[in-house]
């Protein structure tokens, strides 16, 4: 299993949740959409993103994206101490960090 480091976590102005990768990813990451699970590869931003957040919380989406990427692409997404957080509430940040 390959490991990718998440260098930034963003909730953008379109209410999409994005996990940006330190490595900028690989072309084959685009195939994550085949899982039909609401997870997509954003080639411009070099990260995995959600559809627009509606019922699920940020932490729900974080764990969902991690699970889908792991099962479909055989990639383990990891945070590091330098991961940047943009527009993420402290409560959601804490839920994600405490699950490590």
- Tens of pLDDT along 16-71? 999 999 999 999 999 999 988 999 999 999 999 999 999 999 999 999 999 999 99
Q: Which domain holds residue 50?
A: 2-98
Domain count, the chain: 1
Asked whether the predicted pLDDT for residue 77 surpasses 90, the reply is yes
Asked whether the predicted pLDDT for residue 100 surpasses 70, the reply is no
Average pLDDT rounded to a whole number, residues 64-93: 96
Which tokens hold the place of 75? 């990639």
pTM of the model: 0.94
What is the per-residue pLDDT for 31? 93
What is the per-residue pLDDT for 99? 83
SS (H, E, C) the chain: CEEEEEEEEEECCCCEEEEEECCCCCHHHHHHHHHCCCEEEECCCCEEEEEECCCCCHHHHHHHHHHHHHHHHCEEEEEEEEEEEECCCHHHHHHHHHCC
Closest CA to 51 of 40, 41, 62, 43: 40
Give the full edge-to-edge strand order of the sheet including 39-42.
Answer: 39-42, 47-52, 16-21, 2-11, 75-86
Whether residue 33 contacts residue 51, with contact meaning beta carbons closer than 8 Å, is answered with no
CATH number at residue 77: 2.20.20.40
């Amino acid at each position: 299993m390959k490991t990718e480091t998440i260098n930034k976590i963003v909730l953008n102005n379109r209410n999409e949740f994005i996990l940006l990768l330190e490595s900028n990813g690989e072309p084959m990451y685009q195939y994550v959409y085949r899982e039909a699970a609401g997870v997509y590869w954003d080639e411009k931003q070099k990260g995995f993103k959600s559809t627009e957040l509606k019922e699920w919380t940020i932490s729900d989406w974080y764990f969902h994206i991690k699970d889908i990427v792991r099962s479909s692409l055989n990639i383990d997404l990891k945070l590091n101490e330098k991961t940047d957080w943009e527009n993420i509430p402290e409560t959601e940040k804490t839920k994600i960090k405490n699950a490590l």
